[in-house]
Amino acid sequence: MAAVVGIRAWPRPVVLVCATLLVAGCYYAAGQLGLSQQLTADGAVVTPIWPPTGLAVTCLLLFGPWCVPGIALGALLVILSLGVPDVASAGIVAGNTAAPVCAWLMLRAVGFRVSLSRLRDGLALVFLGALTAMLISSWSGVGMLVLSGKLPTDHLGIVWLAWWVGDAMGVVLVTPLLLLLYRARLPPPSVRWTEAFVLTAAVCVLVPLIMYSSVSVLFLAYPILIWSVLRFQLAGGIPCALFVSVMATVVARQEAGSFGKLTEVETMMKLQAFNGTLGLTALLLSAVISEQLHTRRSVELACQELVEALQHLNAGGSGSPGPHERGVP
Q: What is the predicted pLDDT for the residue at 189?
A: 60
Residue boundaries of the structural domains of the chain = 1-182, 192-314
CA angle 324, 328, 329 (to 5 degrees): 90
pLDDT at 321 over 60: no
Give the model's pLDDT for residue 191: 65
DSSP assignment of 92-140 equals HHHHHHHHHHHHHHHHHHTT--TT--SHHHHHHIIIIIIIITHHHHHHH
For residues 288-315, average pLDDT: 84
pLDDT tens readout for residues 55-71: 999 999 999 899 999 99
What pLDDT does 48 receive? Answer: 87
Tell me: the pLDDT tens digits for 115-144? Answer: 888 889 999 999 999 999 999 999 998 888
Distance separating alpha carbons of residues 144 and 194, to the nearest angstrom: 52
Written as one letter, the residue type at 10 is: W
pLDDT of residue 42: 62
Farthest-apart Cα atoms in the chain, separation = 106
Average of per-residue pLDDT across 109-115? 92
For 260, counting Cβ atoms within 10 Å of its Cβ (0-12 exposed, 13-18 middle, 19+ buried), the class is middle
What is the SS3 assignment for 39? strand
pLDDT tens digit sequence for 211-270: 998 888 889 999 999 999 988 888 888 999 999 999 999 998 888 888 888 887 888 888
Whole-structure pTM value: 0.83
| CATH tag for 1-182 (out of 2.40.10, 1.10.1760, 1.10.10, 2.60.120) | 1.10.1760
